[in-house]
Amino acid sequence: MAHLKFLLLLLWVGSTVCTEVDLHKRIFHNHSCEKNDHLYHVQIILSNRAHYHHLCGSSLIHREWVLTAAHCWINNVSAYVGIHPGPGRMARIIDHKIFENQTTKIKHDIMLLKIDPPEDTIEPIDLLQCPHPKQADEVQLAGHGCHRINKVTKEKRMANGDSGGGVIYDKKIYAVHVGSGKYACKFPAVSLRVCSYIDWINQTIHTKNNGK
């Protein structure tokens, strides 16, 4: 699993609907994760008896819930908890919640997945409360995508497989990575900051019998 660091060059692009963060891809110090790095990271997969297919990353924020991007949802997905450093275990997804603006009825690209059984051995990662990082602060992203960008090709996309992963600042989740451009160095990486969704997240994960 790759560990990437970014310089946060632009925090806010002024979208009141999507609350987007524009992370220009100035990658440095990319390397494989150390044994105790990013233990909260959960892989979202589509599996059958023969093989599994990686879909997205996500973050364990509660013993029963992981946070990811809404576009990662597909029927029959599972969560692979403890994938790093391994061996990890499979968990069923028994419920999913996608944020919907109650006024506009527009769904945002952020989602909570409830896992079963709950995870009691890995410490969940906290969410970053406001205020946000400043321009040029470092943020981190752990994921399964490409982490070498010395050559720009159609096959080398920084965000290939990284969608849904947490953008980390000060050891807390600042945002959820939701996408990138087709080419590694030509387009920004886009994320949703979690500050705008903390009330919804807390209400969802603390509602009794959710998904039961």
Tens of pLDDT, residue by residue, the chain (212 residues): 544 444 443 333 322 233 344 444 444 444 455 566 678 999 999 877 667 788 899 999 999 999 999 999 998 899 999 876 668 899 999 999 999 998 999 999 999 999 999 999 999 999 988 777 777 777 777 766 554 444 444 433 344 557 899 988 888 999 998 876 554 455 566 788 999 999 999 999 998 766 55
Listing DSSP states for 121-154 in one string gives SSPPPPBPPSSPPPTT-EEEEEESS----SS--T
User: What is the pLDDT at residue 53?
Assistant: 82
Q: What is the pLDDT of residue 39?
A: 87
The predicted pLDDT at position 49 comes to 64
- How far CA 97 is from CA of 52, 55, 100, 144, in Å, comes to 23, 18, 9, 24
Domains of the chain: 21-27+38-206 (2.40.10.10)
